[in-house]
Structures are given as structure tokens and as C-alpha cells.
Structure 1
Amino acid sequence: MFAGVSAFPLTPLRDDRVDEDALGRLVAGAAGAGVDSVCVLGSTGVGPYLAREERHAVVARAAKEVGDVPLLAGVSALRTSDVLAHAQDAAEAGAAGLLLVPVSYQPLTDDEVVDLYAEVTDRVPLPLVPYENRRTTSVAFSDDLLARVAALPHVASVKVPGAPGDVAAVSARLAHLRTLVPAQVGVGFSGDAYAATALAAGADTWWSVLAGVVPATAVRLAHAARTGDHATVDALTAALRPAFDVLAAQGGVRVAAALAERRGLVQGPCLPRPVQGLPASDRDAVVAALEAAERV
């Protein structure tokens, strides 16, 4: 149910409070541009920085704006009891599915990770998307861990990090990943720089930072990749390369904030302190790249 382009909008803050109107514009814009799902409160959605009541408000506002597009909600937290509370709140507020990355101050064993997912799938039976984000959590999914988590009830798809490689290499990796998960579980990739190759190789989903703030460009890139329009893929990828480079170096949330601020979708600065925005040179490079892509 979460195949295609999944947009991860920023959760903008204003005066250290969630700016629900700006969030609503971002969610409605993504849904209106033709994305296949929207996910709030992921890494770009700064979920771990928000209090429980703030998270509930984000999901409720997004549910009002998303229309018929499926809505996922990130529910990650340090304690299992808090994850369960966020999951139950998200279900009550209108989420169609949950996104969960293991977050912990202490290093987690594989058994602890599996236990976390098992308890969530047992207590809140919404479709669940586990994902690996070792950059922010230091939790790496081995093949064995991915297989154990994907076998749990209600797991709908897995979100794995993209990696460099041509279509043949990514196809081989995708084929391997599909041997690890049940047939009904989708396999999708994050990492906007690798999206076109992953989709061309047959990945089910592109979990996208850019789609949360410039959804029309992301939808166009995905369509070109899936239909074999190599000229458009090459042109868009070349135009977006500077933005991809900044994404890799600075992280998606800073890039999303820079674009949203420059385009008047939010009032900046909009990130939760101590996180700050991009340096001016990176901000200018990202904006110029997106403007170039829109001219393709």
C-alpha cells in the first residue's frame, strides 16, 4: 500500500512551536502533486524532537490535508512504552501506517530490536514500515535482523538505505533483499541520489526527502525512471547533483528547511534548536539545483 513515491515533509517550527498551517501546506502540496504516500514525523519530520502532544497534533493535521493519499506516521522514541503511546496516538489521529526506526542511547542487540518491533506489531495492528538509519541511530540491520523483523505480523514494507551502483548492481541487491522478506512485504530505498536507479531496478518505493518539499520534481523523476525515459532521468539527475551532494553532507532536514524557507512555504528559521540551517553557500547550491531541475 506504500509503493511509489513516499514524501517525507518537514515539520516546521515557529517560535519553537509546531507551525501547523505550514505543515498543512507541505502535506497538501505533496498530496496534490501526485505522491503515493506521505510520511510525517520521520527524520526529516523531526519526530524525536517533539513532545507527545505535538506529535499527535502533527498527525491529526496531516490527516486532514492528505486526502485519499495514505498517511504514515513516525513513532520512534527511546522507550518502548513511548513508542507504543505514539503508535496508538497516530492510529487515533488518522494514520494509515507506522514508520519505526530503533532509537536508543544504549547500543541495542538484535534481540532487543526484534522485541521492540514485535511489541508494536502486537499492540498496534497498523501496517508497519521498519527502517534503518544508521547515520542517526548507529543501528545497522544485518540480513538476519532484517529477515526477523520483516517476518513479524503487519510489516508492510521495509525502508533500506540506498547505495551507489548501476541498475544491474541495484537489481542484484534488490533480488537478494527480496529473498530475506516475505513475498507480501515491499522493499523500498531511501537516499534521493539513488532513487532513479533504484526505481529503474524495480524497487517498490522511493522514500523521499525532496518529495516532501518539491514533490512535482520528485514525481517527475520517479515516472521517468519507471518508464525508461533515460534522457529525462539523466537531465534531472545532473541538475539535482549539487542538491544530492548537500543532502549527503548535511542531512535531509536542513535541505528541506532551506528549500521550504526560500520558497515561502514556511517562515524561517524553522528547525528545532540546536539544529540550525544550511550555510549560505550550501543553501544557494540547493536552491539553484532545484531551479535547474524545474527547467528540464
Structure 2
Amino acid sequence: MAFLSGLSAFPITPIDLDGRVDTAALKRLVARLCIAGVDSIGLLGSTGTYMYLSREERRRALDATIEEANGVPVVAGVGALRTDEAVRLAQDAKAAGAAAGLLAAVSYAPLTEDEVFEHFSTVARKSGLPIVIYDNPGTTHFRFTAVLVERLAQVPGIVAIKNPTEKAEEIASHLGQQRSATPKGFSIGYSGDWNAAQAMICGADTWYSVLAGILPDVCLRIVRAAQNGDAEEALRIDASLAPIWELFKRFSSLRTVYTMADLLGVCRAEPPRPILPLPPFAKEQVAHCLTLLEQDLA
């Protein structure tokens, strides 16, 4: 899965108050990513608020994105509470032309490792869509252990993992351990934007990025520098994004990028309720950060 490398950009999914996807606005977001040259597009991830959308609206988002992407690989979120629902969503994604599915251990009742293993194995087997493990304990409250990742990596059709990055100093050892426990060609990537530069410098395959969904160019510069062995340049650019990382941590990356999309004139949308948009004082901070970033990059 060569496309599961480099920068995977995760845009928001603009919707109205009734949960209907604004496909025109979504296409504008996707067009920015394609023009920038991202390696893949992560549609319907957590930033894409997939769990708030019906199956029909996910299909509409998929069709619009894949049409606009014009060959850029699309990794589509296929998570659901029930295994049968996740299978159908993965089948929809495959039929629409998605290159892979991003699957989280979504639950209401806490899940055991055996339950998660069966869930993932069933979706991979019945859908025929390559599956990326989505380890996102911040929202699912389930953490993939090293043993479970090793088991899942042996399942035909499970081809990659999207890891969280909590402590930059632990990435190198975590990556090394995961490399030794998974088959050759199994793609290992990280999210958590403020530590992603370090992950790419350490040799991760992919940065699954929230910020790249709205500001792909600067994120691509970090990725390309890391891929070229220029750690100093990657860290220099990453340092220029420190004010944005602080906003992400304070207000959440989701709320922040919705505000960025509005301030940049790409689309006017609000996150699905009950999530509220940022208050005016926070929007002013986001606008100030965008101004500083533009000046710094210039």
C-alpha cells in the first residue's frame, strides 16, 4: 500500500443543521488538498465527524470527494457501533472507489481485545476493503495494545495503523517496537499534529493530519523535509506552528479548523451539534495565529 505514506490530509465535512453534507463546500476543501499535492485524503475521520453522519450522507460525501480527488487516494472512515454496520460502510467505501477504510473501535459498552479483533477481522474479510487500524483512545476510550496490533497485522486486508502521539520522546521506541511486531510493508503512521514532525523524523510512514485538511502546504513542507532527511528544517517549520498547536490543545483541533475554514473563506460551516463553534474571543486568537503564520512563512 504505497499510498499509505507521506501526508494524509483530513478535512472537515461541512453539513447543515439537518446533517446534510454540503458537497460543494466539501469539494472546495478537497480541491485545495489536491492542488497542494497531498499523498492521500482522509475523509470522514474524527475531523470529518463521521459518527454524526448517516450512511446516506457518508455516501454523498464519498462520491463528492472521490470525484473531486481525481485519482488522489481516499482513506474513508468506516467506523460504526455494530459490526454489520461497519461492514456495510466499508462495502460502500469500496464501491465508491476509496483506496482504504479507517476503522476505529467505536463502542458504547466497553470492548475486550477479542471483541475488537473479531470486529476488525470481520470488516476486513466481508468488505474486501484494505483496513487501517484507527487507534484513537481519546474518543473511543479503547487503547490498542502491542499484542492486539500484532494479531491484527496478521489478518489479510488489515494493512496499516494510525497511532496517537502523546509523548514525543516515546515515539522512536514505540515505532521500533511496532515495526518489529508487524509484517514488512505494514504502514505505520501517527496523528496528534503537534508531535507528528518528530514521528516523521523518526521514520514513520504517514502523518495523518488535521491541520493539513485546511493548510496542506505547510504540512507538506514538514513531511518532505523529514522524508529528505532534513530534520532541522522539519523542526523549524513545526516550531512556526507552535501557536496553532496550542490552540488545538486548548480548544480542540476540530473546533479550530472549522474556524480556520471560515476565516480563510473556504467554507462557512459549523460542527454538528451538540459541538459548538468557538466563541468570538477564541476566533480572534485563531485569526491572529493565521496572520503570524503567514508572516513567518513569507
Q: Do they superpose with TM above 0.5?
A: yes
Residues 221/288 of structure 1: CA separation in 2 closer, same or farther (3 Å cut): farther
Listed one character per residue, the Cα deviations across residues 218-249 of structure 1 (whole Å, up to 9, x for unaligned) are 11121223334455434322221121122223
Q: Which residue does the alignment assign to 1:72?
A: 75
Looking at structure 1, the residues matched to 287 and 159 of structure 2 have their Cα atoms a distance apart, in angstroms, of: 35
Q: Which residue does the alignment assign to 1:9?
A: 11
Q: Which residue does the alignment assign to 1:153?
A: 156
Matching residue's letter, 1:279 = P
Q: Which residue does the alignment assign to 2:293?
A: 293
Matching residue's letter, 1:29 = R
Q: Which residue does the alignment assign to 2:257?
A: 256
| Aligned pairs (5 A) from 1:1-296 | 1-16=3-18, 17-166=20-169, 169-268=170-269, 270-294=270-294, 295-296=296-297
Matching residue's letter, 2:286 = V
User: 9-18 or 185-194: which moved more?
Assistant: 9-18
Aligned 8 A contact 1:242 1:285 in 2: no
Aligned 8 A contact 1:239 1:290 in 2: no
Looking at structure 2, the residues matched to 199 and 277 of structure 1 have their Cα atoms a distance apart, in angstroms, of: 31
Aligned 8 A contact 1:72 1:99 in 2: yes
> Helix, strand or coil for the counterpart of 2:132?
strand
Matching residue's letter, 2:47 = T
Looking at structure 2, the residues matched to 230 and 3 of structure 1 have their Cα atoms a distance apart, in angstroms, of: 17
Shift of 1:129: 0.3
Aligned 8 A contact 2:17 2:272 in 1: no
TM-score by length of 2: 0.93
- Can you give the 5+ residue segments of structure 2 that lack an aligned partner in the other structure? none
Residues 290/196 of structure 1: CA separation in 2 closer, same or farther (3 Å cut): farther
Looking at structure 2, the residues matched to 174 and 284 of structure 1 have their Cα atoms a distance apart, in angstroms, of: 38
Aligned 8 A contact 1:28 1:65 in 2: yes
Looking at structure 2, the residues matched to 204 and 224 of structure 1 have their Cα atoms a distance apart, in angstroms, of: 13
Aligned 8 A contact 1:7 1:39 in 2: yes
User: 277-286 or 36-45: which moved more?
Assistant: 277-286
- Can you give the 5+ residue segments of structure 1 that lack an aligned partner in the other structure? none
Listed one character per residue, the Cα deviations across residues 16-69 of structure 1 (whole Å, up to 9, x for unaligned) are 321111101111111210110001111000101001100000001000011221
Runs of 4+ residues deviating >6 angstroms = none
TM-score by length of 1: 0.94
Looking at structure 1, the residues matched to 168 and 268 of structure 2 have their Cα atoms a distance apart, in angstroms, of: 38
Looking at structure 1, the residues matched to 38 and 291 of structure 2 have their Cα atoms a distance apart, in angstroms, of: 20
* Number of residue pairs the alignment of both structures matches: 293
- Aligned residues: percent identity? 40
Shift of 1:189: 0.5
> Helix, strand or coil for the counterpart of 1:14?
coil
Aligned 8 A contact 1:14 1:267 in 2: no
Looking at structure 2, the residues matched to 287 and 217 of structure 1 have their Cα atoms a distance apart, in angstroms, of: 17
> Helix, strand or coil for the counterpart of 1:193?
helix
Listed one character per residue, the Cα deviations across residues 67-110 of structure 1 (whole Å, up to 9, x for unaligned) are 22111110111111111111111111121110000101000000
Looking at structure 2, the residues matched to 157 and 70 of structure 1 have their Cα atoms a distance apart, in angstroms, of: 15
> Helix, strand or coil for the counterpart of 1:156?
strand
> Helix, strand or coil for the counterpart of 1:42?
coil
> Helix, strand or coil for the counterpart of 2:158?
coil
